[in-house]
Amino acid sequence: MIRTLAAVPRLTIRRSALRCQKMNPKSSVVVNSNKFALIHTSPLVYKKSGGSKKSKKGSSLDDLLDELSDDEDDTSAQKQPEIASINPNSPVSKFLKDQVKGKGKGKGLSVTNEDVSFMDMDAFWKEMESILQAQKEHFMQHITLRSASAIDEIQVEFEGETYPLREIADISKADPKRIIIDSSAIPQATKIIIQALQSKKTMNLNPQQEGTRIYVPVPKVTKETRMNLAKSAQVTMNDTLEKLRKFSNKKIGQLNDAHQSGVIKASEDQVKGAEQLIRAIESNFIHLAKEMSNQKQKDLMNK
């Protein structure tokens, strides 16, 4: 006996519909129970018509497609630039808090840590801090009235490395007017030590050698000596200010380039806020460099 289409069980047709849906998951399948025909329509038409009730297998397929779509969204989200973590105890955070309280050189600054979270301001602060630290070390080692402690830190290049003088020779003070440097432990360094001492023009040293011993007279410090050292401190400070400004300008240039190229996802207001904070930090370190230099000059002039 030949079976007609009408005699085909409805479950068989639903299975056929499911197979078609698997072959083309973007299409929706509607089963017309009256004519027992498969009709492919767009998802929008299917949604409006209400469609037939989904089988459990159909629901599983839809869930799988939804999960794949979610995975794509997650991948897209991962491509976004990472937001810098905010440390509430970092120097930048403390600096911003001081501005809110009306302290410091960034008075009236309305920028918050969250506004500039798209860039690492703490790293910028550390770079500015290292420039100021270099000035401090230069003052200590090179712009100072002659003393055993100042001579201790004179840098000596020996066998391709740089060492403080105290690491390659013994330094002592025989009397108030003379410092003795003993290089007997490394006799081959004696000549290099003398050259290093003579290179410190601002210290006006006049080393005298006797074998592996070097005698450094400490003459009376004159007003002229103090004035020359004070001028040297001023020159060093001006060099520090130039370095601070150059580094700030470089950072702002990098920020604008990254924003225009789309590397940084931030609004115009956020970028302007970041520039404002960079300038405020620059002003802060310029102020500190000037304060350090002024104090150094006062100490040199014995004021």
The CATH number for 187's domain is 3.30.1360.40
Same-domain pairing of 164 and 54: no
| Domain tally, the chain | 3
Q: How confident is the model at residue 272 (pLDDT cuts 50, 70, 90)?
A: very high
Does any domain span residue 275? yes
| pLDDT for residue 141 | 76
- Report which of 116, 84, 126, 150 is spatially closest to residue 270, judged by C-alpha positions: 116
Residue matched to tokens 């956020």 = 270
User: Per-residue pLDDT tens for 224-241?
Assistant: 888 888 999 999 999 999
Name the residue with higher pLDDT: 121 or 72.
121
User: Per-residue pLDDT tens for 114-150?
Assistant: 888 888 999 999 999 999 999 998 888 778 776 556 7
Same-domain pairing of 73 and 102: no
What gap in Å lies between CA 26 and CA 4, rounded to an integer? 31
pTM here is 0.59
Same-domain pairing of 133 and 229: yes
Same-domain pairing of 194 and 65: no
Using the 3D structure, point to which of 220, 239, 259 is the last residue of a domain.
220
Residue 110: CB atoms within 10 Å = 12
What gap in Å lies between CA 37 and CA 49, rounded to an integer? 16
Same-domain pairing of 118 and 156: no
Same-domain pairing of 128 and 236: yes
Residue 108: CB atoms within 10 Å = 8
The residue segments making up the domain with residue 277 are 91-137+224-300
